[in-house]
Structure 1
Amino acid sequence: MTTLTDHLIVDGARVAYREGGSGEPVVFIHGTPSHSYEWREVVPHVEAAGHRTLTYDLLGYGLSERPAHRDTSVAAQSDLLGQLLDALGLDRVSLVAHDIGGAVALRFALAYPGRVRRLMVMDSVSYDSWPSATWRRIIDEDLDDHAAMPQEAFDDLLTRQLTMTVADKSLMTGDVLRAYLAPHASRLGRASFFEHQVRHYDSRYTEEITDRLGGLTLPVRILWGAEDEWQPVRYAERLRDDIPGAELVVIPGAGHFLMEDAPGRVVREVIDFLASGGEEDTEGSPGPAR
């Protein structure tokens, strides 16, 4: 299990992170409602395979600072990623990104193509795919009144949502469920969840880059859970078709948090992708699903 061990001030805000291993650097970007805990079964194996890893909590998430009145949209998180890499002396990296982290990574790769060696996106928000129907209802009903929500009601709401992230519902119970709920186990945590996460569930951040996806020339692998209840596979197929040379891998029996449903398969796909070539693999037609 990986635990964030260090903190760094980036653009005036504190970011919690962890570096490990040695070799070619790869950055893991988590999604929502989540934090870097989701990579605990993946990162150690990637390090063992000979890679330097960087895992961090997005601003407003997990152990990172939750500053009031700070933009924590995927656009702002993409800018912050560049500053974090600068602060750590990382010029060119591979990115492995999940959910909204996928949007952060796609925006970063489009803005700074020379800084990204390879890009893997997992069950990423894209196009007009988000917020999902259940999140849209929460935005409509609870976003402006969240301060009055008791902790028990909040836990029930988030538990219902987290249960939707896995195909095997028994996986989102016990210690695992508690770990996903833990960052929000306070009044500040609840407020931060709505203000730093839910308030920025906005598809304009992905729709505004749709016409630019064809300009990506780096190796891209799209990893998707076949039973994702929030991001249907048709969005993965659309990404594959719009990104030149992109390969789509659909994992049966996995949901939106595919690293919970199928951690071993995710590890194998990540290590295999990172072992593939760099620029020499950037040409070619879109790869088939497999």
Structure 2
Amino acid sequence: MTVPAPVRHKVSTPWGFLAVKDYPGLGIPFILLHGYPDDSTIYDKLASELQPRRVITFDFLGYGQSERSQTSPVADGQRLSETAAVIDQLNLDQVIVVGHDAGGPVAVEYALAHPDRVARMVLLNCFFGDSPTLRFPEMIRLLGDPHLVLLADALMLDPAQRQWLLEYTAQQFGYGPTADIRQKAIIPQFFGSASQPDALDAIRAWTGRLFDDVAITNDVIASGRLASLRIPVDIAFGVNDPYLNTGVAEHLAGLFPGSQMHPIDARHWVQWDDPKAVAQVLLRDN
């Protein structure tokens, strides 16, 4: 099947513009949210598998092709506001929201804030609150620890140390030097590319919120607000992820009664490793 070229939009926000790719198609559109430290490129293979459905991806501020002018830290609720800006400015009545990694909590937050506009939610190798088996990658824990800011900044400013951290983390995830997702979606965030500057400030700004964001999601769980969601929830996890692992998927399933789990023989970037299997989950009953 020939995949139509996406229509490209610039969506305005109070912090700068978002770069959006809008693949034309039918039905309720999928809106796909990335986490860190990557960008919407992680969904390129999946977008092809979802044809002829409409698919929308975008880069959060500071990542990929989006604007990098923001100088203040990521504000509470900012990623939620960015997501809402895309949905509002593209005049989407309803969406199927899909979240991966740190985009997962954003997907949940959007569904809670706008339940009438979310037809369904799909969570891919992400987290929401603490769970017994949750492990964050060592590099992400380092960047998120408020007591280690000076050390983290020094390491990130040194290209050799930055490269070593990336290599170590990739190996822990099981992605060797030939893994193409590293070159397409991750390395450009840390070192830039011919088409984009690096996203180091954005990486530091978002990862620096890690523990605060986990605390916020813990509060949401404790409040009982998740019980108000009356939308179908699918949880599709690559079972070979050593960090956001099957135990985390089971924890998520417990938060959303009636949700369905879909284990996939893949690693953290499940939508890249096995886009056909993920597409089957997204297209299920649609």
Which category of TM-score, normalised to the shorter sequence, fits these structures?
Answer: 0.7 to 0.9
Return the alpha-carbon distance in structure 2 between the equivalents of residues 120 and 219 of structure 1.
8
Return the alpha-carbon distance in structure 2 between the equivalents of residues 76 and 142 of structure 1.
24
- CA deviations 1:79-105 (Å, max 9, x no partner) are 221122111111211111111111000
Residue among 157, 162, 172 paired with 1:154: 162
The DSSP-based 3-state class of the residue aligned with 2:64 is coil
Q: TM-score scaled to structure 1, two decimals?
A: 0.82
Task: Tell me, yes or no, if the aligned pair for 2:189 and 2:200 is still in contact at 8 Å.
Answer: no
Q: TM-score scaled to structure 2, two decimals?
A: 0.83
**What displacement does 1:74 show?**
7.4
Which residue of 1 is the match for residue 88 of structure 2? 86
**What displacement does 1:190 show?**
5.7
The DSSP-based 3-state class of the residue aligned with 1:217 is coil
Between 157-166 and 195-204, the greater mean CA deviation after superposition:
157-166
Q: Which amino acid aligns with 1:257?
A: W
Q: Which amino acid aligns with 2:173?
A: T
**What displacement does 1:183 show?**
2.3
2:247 corresponds to 1:271? no
Q: List aligned pairs for 1:1-290, cutoff 5 A.
A: 5-24=8-27, 25-46=29-50, 48=51, 50-72=52-74, 75-128=77-130, 132=136, 134=138, 135-140=140-145, 143-148=149-154, 149-166=157-174, 169-170=175-176, 173=178, 175-179=180-184, 180-185=186-191, 189=198, 191-202=200-211, 203-210=214-221, 211-252=224-265, 254-272=266-284, 275=286
Task: Tell me, yes or no, if the aligned pair for 1:154 and 1:190 is still in contact at 8 Å.
Answer: no
**What displacement does 1:29 show?**
0.7
Return the alpha-carbon distance in structure 1 between the equivalents of residues 269 and 148 of structure 2.
24
Coordinate RMSD, CA, aligned: 2.5
Return the alpha-carbon distance in structure 2 between the equivalents of residues 139 and 244 of structure 1.
31
Between 129-138 and 157-166, the greater mean CA deviation after superposition:
129-138
Q: How many residues align?
A: 267
**What displacement does 1:133 show?**
5.4
Task: Tell me, yes or no, if the aligned pair for 2:30 and 2:96 is still in contact at 8 Å.
Answer: yes
Task: Tell me, yes or no, if the aligned pair for 2:45 and 2:275 is still in contact at 8 Å.
Answer: yes
Return the alpha-carbon distance in structure 1 between the equivalents of residues 111 and 13 of structure 2.
20
The DSSP-based 3-state class of the residue aligned with 2:77 is helix
Between 157-166 and 227-236, the greater mean CA deviation after superposition:
157-166
Return the alpha-carbon distance in structure 2 between the equivalents of residues 174 and 236 of structure 1.
25
Structure 1 runs of 4+ aligned residues shifted over 4 Å read 1-4
Task: Tell me, yes or no, if the aligned pair for 1:74 and 1:205 is still in contact at 8 Å.
Answer: no
Q: Percent identity?
A: 24
Between 191-200 and 93-102, the greater mean CA deviation after superposition:
191-200
CA separation of 1:44 and 1:164: change in aligned 2, threshold 3 A: same
Q: Which amino acid aligns with 1:261?
A: D
Between 119-128 and 173-182, the greater mean CA deviation after superposition:
173-182
Return the alpha-carbon distance in structure 1 between the equivalents of residues 106 and 75 of structure 2.
9
Q: Which amino acid aligns with 1:162?
A: A
Return the alpha-carbon distance in structure 2 between the equivalents of residues 19 and 80 of structure 1.
16
Task: Tell me, yes or no, if the aligned pair for 2:17 and 2:66 is still in contact at 8 Å.
Answer: yes
Task: Tell me, yes or no, if the aligned pair for 1:125 and 1:206 is still in contact at 8 Å.
Answer: no
Which residue of 2 is the match for residue 282 of structure 1? none
CA separation of 1:4 and 1:229: change in aligned 2, threshold 3 A: farther
